[in-house]
Amino acid sequence: MASLRPDRSEVGFVDFKVPYDADQAVAEANRCITCHDAPCMHACPTHIDIAGFIRKIATDNVRGAARTILDANILGHSCARVCPVEVLCVGACVHHHHDHPPIQIGRLQRYATDMAMEKGWRFFTAGAPTGRRVAVVGGGPAGLAAAHELRILGHAVTILERAEVLGGLNVTGVAPYKLRTDTALEEVDYILGIGGIEVRTGVEVDAAGLDALVAEHDAVFVAVGLGPDSTLGVPGETLHGVHGAVRWIEAMKAGPLDLSAVRDAVVLGGGNTAVDAVRELKGLGVEGVTLVYRGDEAGMSGYAHEWENAVLEGVSAAWRAQPVAFEGDASVTGVRCLRTGDDKKPIPGTEFTLPAQLVLVATGQARIGQLLAGLPGVQLERGRVVADAQGRTGHPKVFVGGDCANGGKEVVNAAAEGKNAARAIHAALSGGSHG
Ligand SMILES: Cc1cc2nc3c(=O)[nH]c(=O)nc-3n(C[C@H](O)[C@H](O)[C@H](O)COP(=O)(O)OP(=O)(O)OC[C@H]3O[C@@H](n4cnc5c(N)ncnc54)[C@H](O)[C@@H]3O)c2cc1C
Ligand code: SF4
């Protein structure tokens, strides 16, 4: 595993969802009524046989449970921690209809996959060599899921990754109270344990590089995620202390941050990155943390259950407010805002300033479909590559998946799309359509 700084700020966080011990796991598993045509399974983008793995935990077959999970989703270990289960499998559990607490599927999945990692249980081997070569550009969840499945199907795989380590946003972005970097890297090692995946890190593939990969391989799977944090384009954005949220989270997970001079912090945006960032700032001991969003609470795209936790942790909100300038000489001292109306447009004459020694801009990330724009047959739609559900683009050798194709969803969607694309690539190669 790559060496990590022991003083990185993320190490101070503890798990928000406490893991089960064996007795708790069996007791929870026994509450599951093993529904026929289980709605929890349909709600999971990777369609894990949830009723099946829970039954195995109930009968003390934890190894079998882990196999069921990882068979459907090789990123099941991280998904157990990071999935928004409240709006996926747990949200669909039939117990909701009977006024019983839903089954804690994520925690049961974590129980089984933690044990698989701890005991080193391995379930997968590479398939008989097909003689076909596939390049995977981007080693995040989508790229890893695709590479693993392609190896099972017997293809030679090379992952090309810009960063020094694989893992993508599981390593650099996910909130440390859900998943820490060391755990994410453990999973990467587990996935690579299938053997035969060539990994080239520190390689940023550009348009010319992509052309060359397409020429040299039977297929290319592109899973480069999203681009840099969006900027607001308002005065003062270059002041010291104003950062893109995703970039700042990456720095917090990789090394130590000195927040001793920060009494008040402001996070701009109403999505999940903004909600993660306010909770992270609170967790790092910042006293006054305010989320500024131009709509109201009901209109924010961040998950309600995550925002409720942020409020319980002491985060405040300024709803219906839009930043118009960052104040300060060299360093930021405040965010000047205007109130917004029902149409989310600023209302003149309603100016107010929030004090802030740190501001995180969490208003979205750029789309980087442009990388593929020069390939014949590939179409872009608002920066996103147009592809079908299996990741097929208009170019017969080029497939896409994960955030760069879906516009930015969850780890479990990236895992599902990577696996689906690997199967579509296999079908295309088996049909002899490589050239
Ligand atoms: C701050 C934040 C928190 C999140 N929290 C959660 C969460 O709690 N739960 C959840 O389910 N989802 C979460 N997500 C979303 C989730 O992380 C993504 O949906 C998922 O990581 C997408 O996987 P991916 O493989 O498509 O992209 P990424 O994870 O972004 O991986 C893409 C990889 O491609 C590499 N790359 C990019 N360009 C190139 C290039 N030109 N050449 C070579 N390599 C390149 C990148 O370095 C990266 O490693 C979060 C996202 C963010 C931004
Ligand atoms: S819906 Fe709930 S009770 Fe039914 S199988 Fe899924 S977890 Fe078990």
Q: Has residue 434 got a pLDDT over 60? A: no
Is the predicted pLDDT of residue 432 greater than 70, yes or no?
no
Does the C-beta of 103 come closer than 6 Å to ligand 2?
Answer: yes
**Can you tell me the distance from the alpha carbon of 151 to that of 131, in angstroms, rounded to the nearest whole number?**
12
User: Any idea which ligand is nearest the CA of 94?
Assistant: 2
Q: Which residue CA neighbors atom 2 of ligand 2 most closely?
A: 93
Ligand 2: residue of 50, 96, 98, 105 to mutate (most ligand atoms within 8 A of CB) is 50
Q: Above 70 in pLDDT, residue 315?
A: yes
- Cβ count within 10 A of residue 308: 11
Task: Check whether 358 has a pLDDT greater than 90.
Answer: yes
- pLDDT, tens digit, 9 for 90 and up, residues 236-252: 999 999 999 999 999 99
Q: What is the mean pLDDT of residues 2-26?
A: 94
- How confident is the prediction for the chain on average, in pLDDT? 96
Tell me which residue has its CA closest to atom 14 in ligand 1. Answer: 410
Band of residue 169 on the pLDDT scale cut at 50, 70, 90? very high
- Ligand 2 test: best mutation among 93, 96, 108, most atoms within 8 Å of CB? 93
Per the structure block, which two tokens stand in for 293?
Answer: 């969003």
Ligand nearest to the CA of 31: 2
pTM: 0.97
Tell me the per-residue pLDDT of 360-410, one tens digit each, with 9 for 90 and over.
999 999 888 889 999 999 999 888 899 999 999 999 999 999 999 999 999
Average pLDDT over residues 170-175: 98
Pocket test for ligand 1, best of 73, 87, 110, 174 (most atoms within 8 A of CB): 174
What's the CA-to-centroid distance between 409 and ligand 1, angstroms? 9
pLDDT > 90: percent of the chain: 94
- Give the mutation target among 406, 411, 417, 419 for probing the ligand 1 site: most ligand atoms within 8 A of CB: 411
Contacts of 192 (CB under 8 A, 6+ apart): 166, 199
Is residue 196 in contact with ligand 2, taking CB distance under 6 Å?
Answer: no
In angstroms, rounded to a whole number, what is the distance separating the alpha carbons of residues 78 and 87?
Answer: 17
Question: Reduced to 3 states, what is the DSSP secondary structure of residue 418?
Answer: helix
Question: Does the CB atom of residue 358 touch ligand 2 within 6 A?
Answer: no
- CA of 253 from ligand 1 middle (Å) equals 14
The CB of 34 under 6 Å from ligand 2? The reply is yes
Asked if residue 223 lies in contact with residue 414, where contact means CB atoms within 8 angstroms, the answer is: yes
Q: Whose CA is nearest to atom 1 of ligand 2?
A: 93
What stretch of H or E contains 198?
strand 197-201
Query: Rounded to an integer, what is the distance from CA 89 to the centroid of its chain?
Result: 17
Q: What average pLDDT does range 52-77 have in this prediction?
A: 98
State pLDDT tens for residues 188-207.
999 999 999 999 999 999 99
Buried b (16+ CB within 10 A) or exposed e, 191-211: bbebebbebeeeeebeeeebe
Report whether pLDDT(220) > 80. yes
| Ligand 2 close to Cβ of residue 25 (< 6 A) | no
pLDDT digit string (tens) for 120-163? 999 999 999 999 999 999 999 999 999 999 999 999 999 999 99
* Cβ 94 under 6 angstroms from ligand 2: yes
Residue 285 has pLDDT above 70, yes or no: yes
Strands 352-355 and 334-339, sheet pairing:
antiparallel
3-state secondary structure at position 144:
helix
Q: Are 242 and 332 in contact (CB under 8 A)?
A: yes
Ligand number nearest to the C-alpha of 209:
1
Tell me, in angstroms, the distance from the centre of ligand 2 to residue 84's CA. 17
pLDDT of residue 1: 65
Asked if residue 321 has pLDDT above 60, the reply is yes
Cβ–ligand 2 contact at 93 (below 6 Å): yes
* Pocket of ligand 2 contains residue 44 by CB under 6 Å: no
Residue nearest to atom 35 of ligand 1 (CA): 138
What is the model's pLDDT at position 252?
Answer: 98
- In this prediction, residues 45-67 reach a mean pLDDT of 98
Q: What's the 55 CA to ligand 2 centre distance in angstroms?
A: 10
| 77-130: pLDDT as tens digits | 999 999 999 999 999 999 999 889 999 999 999 999 999 999 999 999 999 999
Kindly state the average pLDDT of the residues 426-432. Answer: 88
Q: Across residues 202-224, what is the average pLDDT?
A: 97
**What are φ and ψ of residue 222, in 5° steps?**
-105, 120
Asked if the model's pLDDT at residue 435 lies above 50, the reply is no
CA distance to 133, 161, 222, 271, 361, per residue, from 265 (Å): 49, 33, 37, 17, 11
Give percent of the chain with pLDDT exceeding 70.
Answer: 99
